[in-house]
A and B are shown apart, each in its own frame.
Chain A
Amino acid sequence: MTTALKPKHQRLVLVVLALVVLIGAALLAIWGLRGQASYFYVPSDLVASPPETGKAVRLGGMVQEGSIKTLPDGVTVTFDVGDGKVTVPVRYTGITPDLFVEGSGVVADGRLAADGVFVADTLLAKHDENYMPRELQDMTDAQAKAVVAETE
């Protein structure tokens, strides 16, 4: 090379190289965080490698349809949390959040009891990415489309 690069082109090459290295480092860090930075375990994780009995873990998944039962004391509920592959029975005593319904997501802090039931201390409802007005929730897709078409 006989022609030297202009200073601004040198800087361009330098900054782009630095960015490539930086992005590489970030990807490595994120790769290392895989699994570590997750907020909760899904039931499959819990079944595949069960934590020690009494160790605090966080379980997240979908509340299975028809599984919510209120015990005779009125404040304890039992339900199954599943991720489409396996389900884990959960017991919780306390007031459940408004969004805690069958078929919706839930995140429970607690521990695995000796009988295999997950005992939750706190219950958080997980909202999914769907937003829908009240008026449309009980309609079929076709009805909803008709209503939307009328209002437009």
Chain B
Amino acid sequence: MHGFANPARFLRLARWLTPILLVSGLLLAGGALAYGLLFAPADRLMGDTVRILYIHVPSAWLGMGGWTTIAIASFVELVWRHPLATIAARAAAVPGAVFTAICLATGSIWGRPTWGTWWVWDGRLTSMLVLLFLYFGYLALANAAQKDGVGGGSRVTAIFGLVGAINVPVINRSVVWWNSLHQPASITMGKSAIDPAFLWPLLIAMLGFSLLFGGVVLARMRAILANFQAESRLRRRAMASDAMAGVAL
């Protein structure tokens, strides 16, 4: 665990892991989506509308996965004060928010022909919208914390990341606890109510999207680290030239 907290070792690992994740994720997700959108059979009731499943379900999965990443990284940041954990949490926020937005948009498009409505305020839809707003709040807090440097602000962001995680199991269980318009989970431990013809491309799409998500988070972590390095180098140079000027005077 502590081995990965070393930024230099992390960068060495991330340098070759990032392209592998991105390329394999693109190939798997692209292949599964192409198959799902063009060749998979239509559903007995929904017809071709079922195809939106191949985008909606992986997006929902990663919208929640993104916040789970933030929560775990925030926990590590609060307890062990690893700077890399702070960076990991920041890096997961934007992709998580994007996937949550895609999930809401595709769900709405699916809901119109299937249920007969774009939106209802049932437990699942509302808790997913709350997740999107939590992402917005997190991004705003992280931005503000960055401006006044690492320290108290960063810790507040981490606490927010941890507290917001309460919403993730609520999203997951919302269809069980309350009557909702959204159907309960189709895929539960070792059982699937989805026909294999739909299930396989869906599972491959989920794996591909997840790899892609991992690749994007790693790439963003590297970018944030590079930014830090460039900034501290500039600061050192500025200080050195100040000292030179002092000597000259």
State the A residues within 8 Å of B (CB): 8, 11-12, 15, 19, 22-23, 26, 30, 33-34, 37-42, 60, 97-99, 101, 104, 107, 122-137, 148
Q: With A8-B80, A19-B162, A133-B42 given, is the CB distance from A38 to B185 under 8 Å?
A: no
A127 to B78, CA, bound (A): 43
In the assembled complex, which residues on chain B have CB atoms less than 8 Å from the CB atom of A107?
Answer: 115, 181
Looking at the assembled complex, report how far the CB atom of B203 sits from the nearest CB atom of chain A, in whole angstroms: 13
List 16 A-B pairs, Cβ < 8 Å: A8-B80, A15-B162, A19-B162, A38-B178, A39-B179, A60-B179, A125-B116, A126-B115, A127-B46, A128-B183, A129-B183, A132-B43, A133-B42, A133-B43, A134-B47, A136-B195
In the assembled complex, which residues on chain B have CB atoms less than 8 Å from the CB atom of A104?
Answer: 45
Decide: A134 and B115 in contact? CB cutoff 8 A.
no
A126 to B181, CA, bound (A): 6
Decide: A8 and B79 in contact? CB cutoff 8 A.
yes
Q: With A124-B181, A129-B186 given, is the CB distance from A136 to B44 under 8 Å?
A: yes
Q: A34-B177, A132-B43 are in contact. List 14 more A-B contacts (CB 8 A).
A: A8-B79, A15-B162, A22-B166, A37-B177, A39-B120, A39-B178, A40-B181, A97-B114, A124-B116, A127-B46, A134-B42, A134-B47, A135-B41, A137-B44
State the B residues within 8 Å of A (CB): 41-47, 50, 53, 75, 78-81, 113-117, 120-123, 162-163, 166, 170, 177-181, 183-186, 193-198
Decide: B183 and A39 in contact? CB cutoff 8 A.
no
Q: Can you name the residue of chain A whose Cβ is closest to the Cβ of B74?
A: A15
In the assembled complex, which residues on chain B have CB atoms less than 8 Å from the CB atom of A37?
Answer: 123, 177-178
Looking at the assembled complex, report how far the CB atom of B36 sits from the nearest CB atom of chain A, in whole angstroms: 12
In the assembled complex, which residues on chain B have CB atoms less than 8 Å from the CB atom of A23?
Answer: 166
Q: With A11-B79, A15-B78, A136-B44 given, is the CB distance from A129 to B179 under 8 Å?
A: no
A26 to B195, CA, bound (A): 36
Q: Say which residue of B47, B193, B196 sits within 8 Å of A130 (CB atoms).
A: B193
In the assembled complex, which residues on chain A have CB atoms less than 8 Å from the CB atom of B180?
Answer: 38-39
In the assembled complex, which residues on chain B have CB atoms less than 8 Å from the CB atom of A60?
Answer: 179, 181
A99 to B43, CA, bound (A): 11
